[in-house]
Amino acid sequence: MTEETPELLWEADSTHPQQAKNIRQMLRQVMDPEIRMNIIELGLVREVSLSDAGLHLRMILTTPFCPYGPAILEMARAKAEETAGVPTTIELGMEMWEPSMMENGSAADWGLL
């Protein structure tokens, strides 16, 4: 029996629920090319906040020196901006990624837990 990780809640889920849902769906198109999973499944988008000034995402990478990191961050920024229709910034968080951050049992599907 595996324990499922609940969907990560963002600030935008409470302040702009429909836009947060749309952003989450669009970000599922951004894939980590090495792992072949999207950044939402992997739990890389740690926070999304939306204000009059724009959209702000805080993300982490699976490894500190991920060779695809800059491309993944830019793809996420562009997809989020396209969806929200406002200027979007990305902050790279220093939190260390671990398989338990993966969404809804994805880690167990990969045999990581």
Would you call 26 helix, strand, or coil by DSSP? helix
Taking the C-alpha atoms of residue 16 and residue 10, their distance in angstroms, rounded to an integer, is 10
- Check residue 73 and give its pLDDT: 98
36 three-state secondary structure = coil
Q: How far apart are CA 41 and CA 103, in angstroms?
A: 5
Rounded distance between C-alpha atoms, residue 12 and residue 24, angstroms: 10
In order of their start, the domains of the chain are 11-98 (3.30.300.130)
Statement: the pTM of the whole predicted model exceeds 0.85? yes
Instruction: With a cut of 80, say whether residue 4 has pLDDT above it.
Output: no
Please write the tens of the pLDDT for every residue from 7-51: 789 999 999 999 999 999 999 999 999 989 999 999 999 999 999
Give me 73's structure tokens.
């961050």
